[in-house]
């Protein structure tokens, strides 16, 4: 009969040990928490091959968190997955404007998606923020457009939309924009849990490091 580990802390430690032992790429020490959490959340060791982390992404994300920045998400599922109490300990907060009353009407008027509209209607919120996108490629494209201007440029873009229409292409564009710190998973894989887990990995690291 198979014996299962039942202690939550031991389960997590053993999971991370297995993941770390199976890594193939030469990650920097500061990148391990993000890489390991992405693989842990997906349950897929092969995900390592398509994880892309900008050289400045970790440092910029940690700096922003320690300064109490806002995390802005494209959908409520990403917002729900972020450890808001831990983020609050750093002085930060998380917001998602997708379901604000005016968004749906304005999206119809502009002829674009609601997720895209949510960012376009509040561009000033992007400056110095961490943007976490786990669902909508159109939202990622809009953030990239806005990020061309210093006054609407985020500190970090976590762009991991999932799907077969525009997701891969939007992430390719994100990764080509090496002037903007980013974390992404190239290809069609992605989703809200992965976007949230990157934010959480950075939050936990920031709390461990302190100010």
Please tell me the predicted confidence (pLDDT) of residue 211: 60
pTM for this predicted structure: 0.94
Annotated catalytic, 40? yes
Write out pLDDT tens, residues 25-76: 999 999 999 999 999 999 999 999 999 999 999 999 999 999 999 999 999 9
HEC profile for 47-94? HHHHEEECCCHHHHHHHHHHCCCEEEECCHHHHHHCCHHHHHHCCCEE
Please tell me the predicted confidence (pLDDT) of residue 117: 96
Please tell me the predicted confidence (pLDDT) of residue 1: 60
Please tell me the predicted confidence (pLDDT) of residue 48: 97
The single residue of 40, 54, 120, 189 carrying the catalytic annotation is: 40
Within the chain, which residues score under 50 in pLDDT? none
Burial class (CB in 10 A: 0-12, 13-18, 19+), 146: buried
């Amino acid at each position: 009969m198979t014996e299962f580990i039942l202690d939550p802390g031991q389960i997590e430690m053993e999971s991370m040990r297995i993941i770390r032992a199976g890594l193939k790429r030469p990650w920097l020490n500061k990148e391990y928490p993000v890489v390991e959490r992405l693989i842990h959340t997906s349950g897929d060791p092969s995900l390592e091959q398509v994880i892309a982390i900008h050289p400045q992404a970790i440092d910029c994300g940690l700096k922003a968190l320690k300064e109490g920045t806002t995390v802005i998400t494209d959908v409520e599922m990403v917002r729900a997955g972020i450890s808001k109490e831990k983020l609050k300990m750093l002085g930060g907060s998380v917001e998602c404007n997708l379901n604000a009353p005016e968004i749906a009407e304005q999206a119809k008027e502009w002829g674009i998606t609601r997720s895209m509209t949510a960012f376009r209607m509040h561009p000033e919120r992007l400056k110095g923020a961490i943007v976490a996108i786990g669902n909508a490629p159109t939202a990622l494209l809009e953030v990239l457009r806005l990020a061309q201007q210093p006054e609407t440029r985020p500190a970090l873009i976590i762009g991991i939309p999932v799907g077969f229409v525009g997701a891969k292409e939007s992430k390719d564009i994100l990764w080509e924009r090496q002037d903007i710190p980013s974390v992404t998973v190239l290809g069609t894989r992605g989703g809200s849990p992965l976007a949230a887990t990157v934010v959480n990995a950075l939050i936990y690291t920031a709390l461990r490091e302190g100010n």
